[in-house]
Amino acid sequence: MEDLHHEYPPDLLQILQDAAPVLDCRSRERLKIGIEALIAENQALAVRAVQAEKGRDALLAVTRVAVIARDITEMKQAEDTLRKRTQDLNERVKELSTLYAISRIIEQSGTSLDEVFREAVLVLPSGWQYPEDTVARITVRGREFKSEGFRETPWRQASPVVVNAETVGMVVICYLRERPEEADGPFLREEQSLIDTVAGRLGRAIELFQARESLQKSESQFREITQQSFDMIYTCYHESGIAYISPAVMRILGYTPDELIGCKCRDYVVPSSLPAWEEGRKKISRGEPVEGLEIEFRRKDGSVAFLELNESPIVRDRSVIGVHVVGRDITERKQNEQLRQQAFEQIERNIEQFAILGDHIRQPLQVILGMTDLLEKGMATERIQEQVDRINSYVRDLDQGWIESRQVREFLRKHELA
């Protein structure tokens, strides 16, 4: 930047006139003030300068002024740019602080939606360029939440609250008095983005609260079902053991739920069922469900209960960490199956005995008949023949029973009852 040196006539007006071609009105005024201050503050220096040059005159006065003008346009522009960027940065910080405050309000545990809206509407004005003149209102499904002093004005900004693709409310920001024009009336472009973000955040918060309420209702219904279910329902984790087990366990195994919380399921499996149990565990570890697994469990009184288990793996972060189980008591069914099996085995033995018994009877009868043929005809031989015929009829009945028993056995096998 070059320094410019000018010498001006002693008359102040002449000095300003000479400077007029290169200075604007405001700069000429500043030059005038500066020269006057220079004259007032440096009177003694000016006097000594004149005395040294012309000797001691009776009348001393400043006859010349030397002015150095430096071009500081770029510096001023840099200062203005820095000031503008600093202001913009402060605005962004305010906006981020507002979003953080809204998120903190939403994430507070135990907070209702009304409390979220009530607190959020008080925080919103602080995010705008003129917070002292900013008021806010949130409306959701007919409910209104306002900041202090809210009123509708022409200087208004709004964004819809959308829940599951349905507009359910509106976030409104108003300035109480007119402000300089910006990108969107008196509002900054970033402020429109801010109100859109806040409205979107509130919409997602409503969806989250609705999902949470639905989940709680579902859990309550599920718990009610499990509490009243005749089946034993439990959740067991690999690390911590049984986390929940339904009251049906008292009827099936004789333990209270509290007695089994934290225990390992395997500890109650009868040794003879452990191979089948381990096969089920292998399928669960691969993330596969298990259906119809029949396992014997040890009851509290030392007896054994048969349970049919249907199991689903609990997967978290692609790893199986536990299992959900529904266990149905099939002890009575297994006992009936055992009795039925015993009955069929007895039928098999009876069929074999029928065949053997028929042969055993026929052979002696044939001998008796042969002996009677050797005897003379008479009353005795007739009586013997009658009794042999009678016994033969019984043997034929046994043969018929044997045939019918075999038919029954084949029918039961065909229909998987044996």
CATH number, domain of 289, equals 3.30.450.20
- Asked whether residue 397 is domain-assigned, the answer is yes
Q: Is the pLDDT of residue 386 over 70?
A: yes
> Do 393 and 297 fall within a single domain?
no
> Do 137 and 186 fall within a single domain?
yes
> Do 96 and 152 fall within a single domain?
yes
> Do 95 and 205 fall within a single domain?
yes
> Do 320 and 404 fall within a single domain?
no
The better pLDDT of the pair 107, 387 is held by 107
**Range 200-208 average pLDDT:** 91
Number of domains into which the chain is organized: 4
What pLDDT sits at residue 47? 46
235 Cβ contact list (under 8 Å, min separation 6): 242, 243, 244, 245, 314, 322, 323, 324, 325
> Do 363 and 301 fall within a single domain?
no
> Do 105 and 56 fall within a single domain?
no
Cα three-residue angle 128-134-138, rounded to 5 degrees: 95
Domain boundary, last residue among 157, 176, 210: 210
Q: CA-CA distances (angstroms) from residue 210 to 35, 174, 202?
A: 75, 30, 12
- Asked whether residue 221 is domain-assigned, the answer is no
- Asked whether residue 312 is domain-assigned, the answer is yes
Share of the chain above pLDDT 90, in %: 38
> Do 297 and 344 fall within a single domain?
no
Of the chain, the end-to-end C-alpha distance in Å amounts to 113
Q: What is the pLDDT of residues 119-153, one digit of tens each?
A: 999 999 988 888 999 999 999 999 999 999 999 99
What pLDDT sits at residue 6? 44
Which range of residues forms the domain containing residue 165?
89-210
- Asked whether residue 220 is domain-assigned, the answer is no
Q: CA-CA distances (angstroms) from residue 324 to 237, 243, 246, 313, 314?
A: 9, 10, 12, 6, 7
Question: Of the ranges 7-16, 107-116, 299-308, 377-386, which is most confident?
Answer: 299-308
Query: How far is Cα 414 from Cα 418, in angstroms, rounded to an integer?
Result: 8
Domain boundary, last residue among 180, 210, 240: 210
* Tokens matching residue 84: 């503008």
The better pLDDT of the pair 103, 343 is held by 103
> Do 94 and 197 fall within a single domain?
yes
What pLDDT sits at residue 27? 64
31 pLDDT tier (thresholds 50, 70, 90): low
Domain boundary, last residue among 152, 176, 210: 210
> Do 282 and 367 fall within a single domain?
no
> Do 323 and 340 fall within a single domain?
no
What pLDDT sits at residue 281? 93
- Asked whether residue 223 is domain-assigned, the answer is no
What pLDDT sits at residue 135? 95
- Asked whether residue 225 is domain-assigned, the answer is no
What pLDDT sits at residue 44? 46
The better pLDDT of the pair 143, 38 is held by 143
- Asked whether residue 93 is domain-assigned, the answer is yes
Q: Is the pLDDT of residue 286 over 70?
A: yes
Out of 20-29, 132-141, 165-174, 404-413, which region has the weakest mean confidence (pLDDT)?
20-29
**Range 286-307 average pLDDT:** 93
**Range 89-94 average pLDDT:** 75
- Asked whether residue 184 is domain-assigned, the answer is yes
The position carrying tokens 């570890």 is 285
* Tokens matching residue 49: 């300068």
> Do 100 and 195 fall within a single domain?
yes
If you count DSSP H runs as helices and E runs as strands, how many of each does the chain have, helices first? 11, 11
- Count the helix, strand and coil residues of the chain and give each as a percent rounded to the nearest 5: 60, 20, 20
